[in-house]
Chain A
Amino acid sequence: MNSTPLLFLGILVALASSWWGILVAPSLQVGNTPTILLKETGQHYPPNRPGLAQQGAAIYLSEGCNTCHSQLVRPEGFGIDLARGWGKRRTVAQDYLRDSPVLLGTVRIGPDLTNIGYRMGAGDTNAQPVMVAYHLKHLYHPRTVAAGSVMPAYPYLFEQRPIVAGALSPHALKLEGAFAPPAGYEIVPKPEATALVAYLLSLRSGISLAEAPIPQPPTNGVDTASASTNGMSAASTATPTNPTPAPPSSR
C-alpha cells in the first residue's frame, strides 16, 4: 500500500479482471450467436422490427416507459411470471439479439410487456384494430380502460382538433364521460402515439426455442421442442390463441 504506482496498478488490474470476465468473455459468446431460421416461414428469429415499430421504440425510450415496465419473463420457480400469463416460456438471450437498447427493466410498477403484442386476441386478424384502439385509449388516459391505474396519461402524444364535416376521423379515439373532448372536437393520435402502439404490438417472444421450449400438452405424444435440429432451429411458431380479448394490464 506504500507504493503509489503499485496501488494504482493493483486497483486497475482488479477492475480490469471483472471487465474481462463478466463483459468481454460473454460478448464473445453472445456476439457470435446466430439468429434462427424458421423453417415454416423462411424468416429469421428474432425478426427485424418494422420501421414504424422502430420509431415507436424510440418513443418508448424517450418517455422512459422502462422506468415502470420490464421486458423479461422469468423461468418457472424463479417468480410467477408464467402463471401471470406474461409469456408461454421464459425469455432467453436469443430473444433480445436484435434489440438495442435492451430494456429488461428493474421495477414493475406496471406489468411486464415482453409479450404485450400477444395478449389480446393474437392470431385473429380482426383483433388487430381492437388492440390498436385499446392501446391508444390506454396511452391517452390509462383510466379510460383500467380504473385505478397509476400509469401517467400521455395527452401530448395526441391532438385535440375540431371535427370536420360533422364526422369523426377514422383514427379518432372513442372516448366517453369525463374523458370525452368538448363538443365539436375529436382526439386523434399523433404519429408518435401510432408508432408507440406499433412497437408495443411488435413485442412478441412466442417462438419455441431449444433452450426455452414452450410446454405443450402431450397430444399424440409429439414434443414440439424435440423437433428442432442442431439445437438452434425453432421447432414451431407458437401462435398463442386467446379468442376473447382481455385487458392486458389485468394481471
Chain B
Amino acid sequence: MIPTASTSPSPVSSAPGIADVDASFRSVALFMLAKATFWLIAGSLLLLLTSVKLHAPAMMSNVAWLTYGRLAPAGWDALVYGFAGQAGFAIGLWLLARASMQRLQAPLLVLAGAVCWNIGVLAGTIGILAGYSTGRELLEMPAGAMVCLVVGAGLIGAAGWITYAARTRTETYPSAWFVLLALISFVWFGSVALMMFAGDGPRGVIQVLVQRWYANGVLKLWLGGLSLAVIFHTLPQLLNRPLASRQLSLIAFWCLVFFTPWAVTAHGDPFPRWIVSVGMAGHFLAAIALVAIALNWWKTAEGAGRTLFASPVGRLIGIAALAYVAAGLLAFFVSFRGPASWARFTWIHHGLDWLLVGGAVTLSFFAVIPDFLLRATGRSLSPGLVRLHATLSLVGVLLIGLPLLIGGLLQGSRLADPSVAFLDALRSSMHLVRLSSLGLVVFLLAQGVFGLALVGLFRSLASECVATLKSWSVPISNANANANANARNRTAGVRS
C-alpha cells in the first residue's frame, strides 16, 4: 500500500484535505479505468492473435479483418491509446491533484474528454481492422479517429492545467512536472502530425520524419512522461525517504523536453545527411536526461533494494524503473552505426517497444491503480486478485519482451551473414518468438484476473447503491403508512 501523505507539504489555509482530493476522482477513476481495462483485454487479445498468426500463417486467412498486417497495428494501438493513454491520463491527473493539493477542477471536462477519447479509439481500431489504416506506425488510425483523440486529450489536458493553476501548495513536485508535460505532449504531437498530413501531406521522406517525430514524442514524452511521474511519485513514498535530488530531476526534465523529440533518425536512413546528423546529436543529448533520471532513482533507492522488491507494488515499480532505463539505454546503443547495421529491422524493435510500453508504462500504472481506486471510491479490489494480477503481469511482460530482444539479436546476427537465406535467419529466432507468444497468453490471463477484480469492485459499489436506495425508501414508506393511518382516523372522525 502506498502511504497517503506526500513529502513535506506546506498547505495554504482553506486547502482541501487529501481525502477530498481523492474523492473528487470517483467518477473519473471509475469511468476511465473501466474503459481502459476493456481496451487492455481487447488489445492483449488482438496481440495474442497476431502473435499466433506468425506460427500458423494460414489460420483464419479467409477473414480480411484478421490478417496479420491489420491485427498487429490494431492490437498495439488499442493497448497504447485505449489502455495506457487512458489509464495514464486518469492516474496522471490524480497525481497532479495530489501534488497540487487541490480537488480535480472541471471533472465534466475530463469525462467529456474521456468519452471523445474512447470514441476515437473505437473508431480507429475498427478502421484499421476494416482496412482503412494510414500505414504510419502509431498513426495508423484514420484521421477522423485521430481528431477525436486530440480533442479528447485537449479537454483532459485543460482540466489538468486548470487544477494545477488552482494549486494550494507552494512547492512543485517532479511528478507534477512530468504529468503537465504529458498533458501538453499528446495534444501537440497529435495536432501537428494531423495538420502536416492534412491534404497531400509533406513531400517524400518528410512523411517518415513526421511519423517518427510523432511516435517518438508520444512514446517518450506522453506515455514515458506519465510513467516517470508515477515512478517519481511512488518510489520515494514506498521507501519512506525523500527523492535524492530535486536539481537532478530538473535537469532530467528539461533535457527530456528539449532534446528527446530530435532523436528520430538512424544511420543509413534515406534523408539528407545533415538531418541524420542532427537526429544523432538528439540521441546523445537525450541520453543526458536518461542518465540524470537513472542516477536520481539509484541514489534514492540506494541500499533499499531489498525493501523495495519485498512488496508487490515495490516489485512493479522497481521493474518498471529498470525497464525504463534499459529501454532508453538499448535504444541509444542501437542508434550507433555498428549496432544499427544488424539490429535495425529485427525483433529488437518490438522488444524495445514492449520494454517501454509494457515494462515501464504498463507495470508502473498497474502498481498504482489499486491504490487509486481505493482512495477515489473507498472500495478496494480483491487483494488476492491484485497480487495475482501483479505477478502474472510481471511474468507476462518479461516473457514477451526479453525473448523478442534475444530473438532480435539472433536474427540480426544471422541476417548480417549474406550467405544465410533471409527465411533461415528468421527461422533461427522463431522459437523465441513462440516464447513471447506464451508471454502474451500469461499477460492476457493477468488482465482477465484484473477484469474480474474490477467487476468485483463494481458489484460492491452497486450493492452499496442498492442499500442506499433502500435506506431512503424505508422512511418514505413509513411516512406513507403514517399518512394513511391519519387519513383513516380523519375519515372515522367524520363518520362518527
Contacts and interface: CB of A to CB of B under 8 A. Distances in A.
Check if A and B associate: yes
Interface of A: 1-2, 4, 7-8, 10-12, 14-15, 17-19, 21-23, 26-27, 29-31, 33, 61-68, 70, 72, 74-75, 77-80, 83-84, 90-93, 95-109, 111, 141-143, 146, 148-156, 249-251
Contact of A75 (B64, B170, B268, B275): B268
A148 B257 contact: no
A74 B206 contact: no
Interface of B: 53-55, 57-58, 61-64, 67-70, 72-73, 128, 131-137, 161, 164-165, 170, 172, 177, 180-181, 184-185, 188-189, 192, 196, 200-210, 213, 217, 221, 250, 254, 257-258, 261-262, 264, 267-272, 275, 278-279, 282, 337, 340-342, 344-347, 349-350, 415-418, 421-423, 426-427, 430
Contacts of A17: 258
For chain B, what secondary structure do more than half of its interface residues adopt (helix, strand, loop), or is it mixed?
helix
B133, B271, B345: most-surrounded residue (chain A CB, <10 A): B345
B132 A62 contact: yes
A22, A68, A77, A95: most-surrounded residue (chain B CB, <10 A): A22
A247 to B, nearest CB: 10
Contact of B61 (A2, A77, A93, A153): A153
A79 B177 CA distance: 40
B456 to A, nearest CB: 38
Given A78-B267, A79-B342, A154-B61, A101 B201 contact: yes
Contacts of B250: 1
A102 B207 contact: yes
A104 B208 contact: yes
Contacts of B68: 64, 67-68, 152
B275 A22 contact: yes
23 contacts: A1-B172, A1-B250, A2-B170, A7-B180, A14-B257, A15-B184, A15-B221, A18-B282, A22-B282, A31-B202, A64-B69, A66-B135, A67-B68, A68-B69, A78-B340, A79-B268, A92-B270, A96-B205, A102-B208, A108-B345, A152-B61, A152-B68, A251-B422
A80 B262 contact: no
Given A29-B272, A67-B69, A93-B271, A2 B135 contact: no
A87 B46 CA distance: 35
A206 B261 CA distance: 34
A1 B430 CA distance: 49
Contacts, number: 230
A23 B206 contact: yes
Contacts of B418: 80, 83-84, 251
Given A27-B206, A93-B271, A108-B345, 11 more contacts: A11-B181, A22-B261, A22-B275, A63-B131, A72-B269, A74-B268, A79-B344, A80-B418, A101-B135, A107-B347, A152-B53
B69 A249 contact: no
B63 A156 contact: yes
A208 B264 CA distance: 28
Contacts of A90: 268, 270
A65 B69 contact: yes
Nearest to B267: A78
B207 A152 contact: no
B257 A11 contact: yes
Contact of A93 (B254, B270, B345, B350): B270
Contacts of A74: 268, 341, 344
Given A14-B254, A105-B345, A154-B61, A99 B204 contact: yes
A96 B337 contact: no
Closest 10 CB pairs of A and B: A64-B69, A78-B268, A18-B261, A74-B268, A62-B131, A83-B418, A108-B345, A153-B61, A14-B257, A96-B204
B204 A21 contact: no
Contacts of A98: 204
Contact of B337 (A4, A78, A153): A78
A63 B270 contact: no
Contacts of A2: 170, 172
B133 A62 contact: yes
B404 to A, nearest CB: 10
A61 B279 CA distance: 27
A94 to B, nearest CB: 8
A20 B391 CA distance: 44
B177 A249 contact: no
A63 B349 CA distance: 21
A27 B261 CA distance: 17
Contacts of A156: 61-64
A84 B422 contact: yes
Contact of B278 (A21, A65, A249): A21
Contact of B165 (A4, A106, A108): A4
Contacts of B346: 107-108
Contacts of A62: 70, 131-133
A97 to B, nearest CB: 5
Contact of A100 (B200, B210, B279): B200
A80 B68 CA distance: 27
